[in-house]
């Protein structure tokens, strides 16, 4: 099976590194930063860099999670609701049950992994469209969030966890370190392991992957479980940052979670792109959002800009691939 997998990746032209495209995204990021520093003098201050890095940490983790699923050719629009569910469960365990923080965080990660695995199992077992299934599960998880919180904000988190979201370590917010760790683990998983090659193989062609002996259902369910756990991690960090939990948490992450990997070159059809791209795309979105705030533009226009960027990125990606085939 190994030889078949290697031959298949060579024959199908899988893009495990995507070096050329990453360079293009990196250049775009640098240009955006230069323009931002020119139009907003406070952009390069240390205080503003801290704000950007903290925003990037949350967007980056959910973008990496969504990026894994996009590499499969799937998508999970319930990822923000899963993040909220994990944050709420963890907060309830810390506040109401006064559970040890390590156990409460572990429970939150487990909830995220289970929620993601449920999505993946339904999609693969019944061979359903991931978009349709996760739209339904979005409603399920959002409803659970409302049911658990009763529509109220949960407060009273212990100080030892709130420093994880709101403190700094050597001038850098802890979520940035956590995002960096997540990035390195998922980068290794997708580029240096057999599972990573299977992920790309399934994303490129499920039928061909089956022929060479890959258990595509297992690969996809595992990816959904990992993505759910990562979303849960981001959700819990947001709770620690806000020192509270509420039902609407994570809802605003849906668009950035999709936009960042697409901007970074991960094909929505699967099999092409890298986790590097998801991270760079998240950085671009974080910088653009920051510049909008610094420029005094209505913050709600951030969603308009982000939406326009993802549409343009998808269109350019489709045009580039069409020209490549031509």
326 domain-assigned: no
Residues 6+ apart with CB under 8 A from 247: 84, 88, 142, 145, 146, 148, 149, 151
Residue 171 in any domain: the answer is: yes
* Total tally of structural domains belonging to the chain: 1
Structural tokens at position 271:
């099999």
CB-based contacts of 22: which residues, under 8 Å, 6+ apart? 264, 265, 274, 276, 277, 280
pLDDT band for position 153 (cuts 50, 70, 90): very high
Structural domain contains residue 12: no
- List the CATH number of the domain containing 110: 1.10.3470
Q: How does residue 17 score in pLDDT terms, banded at 50, 70 and 90? A: very low
Band the pLDDT of 12: cuts 50, 70, 90. very low
Report the mean per-residue pLDDT for the chain.
Answer: 89
318: pLDDT confidence band, cut at 50, 70 and 90? low
In a domain, 233, yes or no: yes
- Residue 31, in any domain of the structure: no
Q: Residue 208: inside a domain, yes or no?
A: yes
Give me 109's structure tokens.
């990660």
Asked whether residue 26 is assigned to any structural domain, the reply reads no
Rounded to 5 degrees, what angle do the CA atoms 112, 226, 147 make? 15
Examine residue 32 and state whether it is found in any structural domain, yes or no.
no
Kindly indicate the confidence band of residue 25, based on its pLDDT and cuts at 50, 70 and 90. Answer: confident
Domain encompassing residue 114? 42-320
């Amino acid at each position: 099976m190994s030889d078949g997998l290697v031959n298949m990746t060579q024959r199908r032209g899988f893009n495990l590194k995507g070096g050329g495209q990453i360079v293009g995204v990196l250049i775009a990021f640098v240009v955006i930063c230069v323009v931002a520093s020119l139009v907003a003098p406070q952009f390069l201050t240390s205080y503003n860099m801290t704000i950007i890095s903290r925003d990037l940490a949350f967007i980056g983790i959910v973008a990496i999670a969504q990026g894994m699923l996009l590499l499969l050719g799937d998508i999970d629009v319930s990822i923000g609701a899963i993040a909220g569910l994990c944050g709420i469960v963890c907060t309830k365990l810390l506040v109401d049950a006064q559970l040890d923080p390590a156990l409460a965080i572990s429970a939150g990660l487990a909830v995220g992994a289970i929620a993601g695995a449920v999505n993946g199992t339904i999609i693969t077992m019944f061979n359903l469209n991931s978009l349709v299934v996760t739209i339904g599960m979005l409603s399920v998880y959002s409803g659970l969030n409302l049911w658990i919180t009763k529509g109220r904000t949960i407060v009273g988190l212990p100080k030892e966890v709130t420093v994880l979201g709101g403190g700094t370590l050597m001038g850098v917010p802890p979520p940035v370190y956590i995002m960096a760790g997540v990035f390195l683990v998922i980068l290794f998983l997708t580029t240096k392991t057999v599972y990573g090659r299977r992920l790309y193989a399934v994303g490129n062609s499920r039928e061909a992957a089956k022929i060479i002996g890959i258990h595509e259902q297992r690969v996809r369910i595992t990816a959904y479980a990992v993505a759910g756990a990562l979303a849960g991690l981001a959700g819990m960090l947001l709770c620690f940052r806000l020192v509270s939990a509420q039902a609407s948490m994570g809802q605003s992450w849906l668009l950035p979670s999709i936009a960042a990997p697409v901007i970074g070159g991960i094909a929505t059809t699967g099999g092409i792109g890298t986790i590097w791209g998801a991270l760079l795309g998240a950085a671009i979105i974080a910088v653009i959002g920051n510049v909008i705030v610094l420029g005094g533009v209505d913050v709600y226009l951030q969603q308009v800009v982000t939406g326009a960027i993802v549409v343009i990125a998808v269109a350019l990606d489709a045009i580039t691939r069409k020209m490549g085939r031509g």
